[in-house]
Structure 1
Amino acid sequence: MKKVTFLTITALLTLGVATPAMAATPKNSDADITLIEDDHPDGPLRISKVTDITFGIDSISGSDKSYYAHYLENDKNADNKYRANYMQVVDNRGTNQGWSLQVQNDAFKGKNDKGEDVTLANAELVMTSTHAQKNSVDKDTQAILPNAEVPVEATGWIFQSEVKVNGSAATIATAKKDNGMGVNNVYFGQASDVPSDNKKLETKNRSIELRIPGISTKSKTKYTSTLTWTLTDDPA
């Protein structure tokens, strides 16, 4: 005889007033970071990039003449304009105390067609710093401090006009206290829509000038001078 078993399931639902949850006792957790000094071999305050200056190829003159720098041939900014010469300064000290940028140069020297050493006597290099710019590949986040056709003293920054660069160190730009932190480019001139052309004066950068007196003896040769750039941690 087949036995059939029935299983009865009773489902219960009790409704009532909900008991409020009790607040848990708060506990604390920690978050920490240990900061150490920037371990770059050149130190936390440093010049990370220097651009060479070229005045191109130009004719000898028996009169006083000014020659102007070319814009950087293969270096464009985020707006696709040719950059003027610049220095890239890194300040990772974390002290926010500011800095000063100084420059000096030796004489312009070359060799004549006889292989003899020659010097471009009394030549005068004159430079004007115009603005600083926070370095960024995204132009929307580039802070320009300030970007003016005429060099100015802005709050926190000093840009020097027509500095005569010779054998003695001369201050050419200063980031005062609470300025100049991180990566900044210090520019000498505004960007240009067109590249420089040896034969077109209007395409040159007038913020960097080489003045050569007419009385100076000149040879048909390439003259070169070495510029020495120095950062000091004193913005005074």
Structure 2
Amino acid sequence: MTKAAIKLVSFATLGLLAASTTATIANADGATYNSTGTITYQASTAVTPPVDPSDPTTPVTPTNPDGSDLTPDQAGTAGPLSIDFASSFDFGTQDITSSNMTYYAAAQKLSDGSTRDNYVQVTDNRGTLTGWSLSVEQGDFETSAGDVLKGAQITLGDGAIASASETPADVSAATTTLTPGTASGTILGATDGNGAGTNLLNFGDADGTTNSDTAVSLFVPGSSTKLAQTYTADLTWTLSDTPAQ
């Protein structure tokens, strides 16, 4: 560095010191004052709408297997920890047979006519990130007169988590075979520190469309008595605030 450059730097430093001294003197009679910023949270009581299994940032309107709109009793549960939607499974109309048979559920229909993987959706807006667990229980397949399709079991296959959350659910079951009258283990859940926001378990793949017609199946033994009737089974989905393991 040249001598001229050294002088310029020195002068600049002196100028800053002089300005600082002047500012200190000018503010000698000033004052300080404190104000505050506040925010208050309350637990949400809203119902989270279903979202697209192929794009969890986009709301969609699922329909029943026959294409009809969901009824009011099919709306999601309210509150900060909620089950927003679960598909109903349509295994079609089949010929009576004495052979063991496996049938596959049709894909989930949307109101725009497109289809997606069948899925279940959970939202955690508690803000605590303390985890949760979802299980499901299948009832017997019965006719309106109470005739039971003995041994009929649903299998939920190819389970894959889909979420737009920064801390998504981190526990899922790839395959779950249901036993009528017995709750499953955790099929979707979050350990402590995970599971905030909206999380889906797609029965197919995380992209929501891969195995739409084959992931959910129903096994019926050939030995089961079958009538030319419609058999229906209830599926009860249960969400608890117990962290998944």
* TM-score bucket (shorter structure): 0.5 to 0.7
Deviation at 1:91?
A: 1.0
- Name which one, 1 or 2, has greater alpha-carbon Rg: 1
For the aligned residues, what is the CA RMSD?
2.9
The residue that corresponds to 1:158 in the other structure is 171
Q: Indicate whether 1:189 and 2:199 are aligned.
A: no
Residue 183 of structure 2 corresponds to residue 169 of structure 1:
yes
Gaps of 5+ in 1: 1-18, 135-141, 147-155, 194-202
Bigger relative contact order, structure 1 or 2 (CA pairs below 8 A, ≥6 apart): 1
Which residue of structure 1 aligns with residue 94 of structure 2?
58
Q: 1:81: Cα distance to partner?
A: 6.2
In structure 2, distance between residues paired with 1:187 and 1:210 = 17
Q: Normalising by structure 1, report the TM-score.
A: 0.68
Mapped contact 1:81–1:192 kept (Cα < 8 A): no
Deviation for aligned residue 1:84: 1.2
Cα distance in 2, alignment partners of residues 211 and 74 from structure 1: 26
Q: What percentage of aligned pairs have identical amino acids?
A: 32
Cα 1:217–1:145 change in 2 (3 A) is farther
More helix by proportion, 1 or 2? 2
Report the count of equivalent residues.
186
Structure 1 residues 98 and 128: alpha-carbon distance in aligned structure 2, compared to 1, 3 A threshold: farther
Instruction: Indicate if the aligned counterparts of 2:167 and 2:195 stay in contact, CA closer than 8 A.
Output: no
**Matched residue type, 2:107:** Y
The structure-2 alpha-carbon separation of the partners of 1:84 and 1:222, relative to structure 1 and needing over 3 Å to count, comes to same
2:159–2:175 CA contact under 8 A, matched in 1: no
Gaps (5+ residues) in structure 2? 1-18, 47-76
How far did 1:42 drift?
A: 3.7
Contact 1:129–1:173 (Cα < 8 Å) also in 2:
no
The aligned amino acid for 2:171 is I
Match of 1:119, SS state, is coil
Task: Give the counterpart of 1:69 among 105, 110, 131.
Answer: 105
Q: Alignment partner for residue 31 of structure 1, among 16, 34, 37?
A: 37
Question: SS at the partner of 1:110?
Answer: coil
1:120 aligns with 2:134: no
Give the deviation of 1:58 after TM superposition. Answer: 2.4
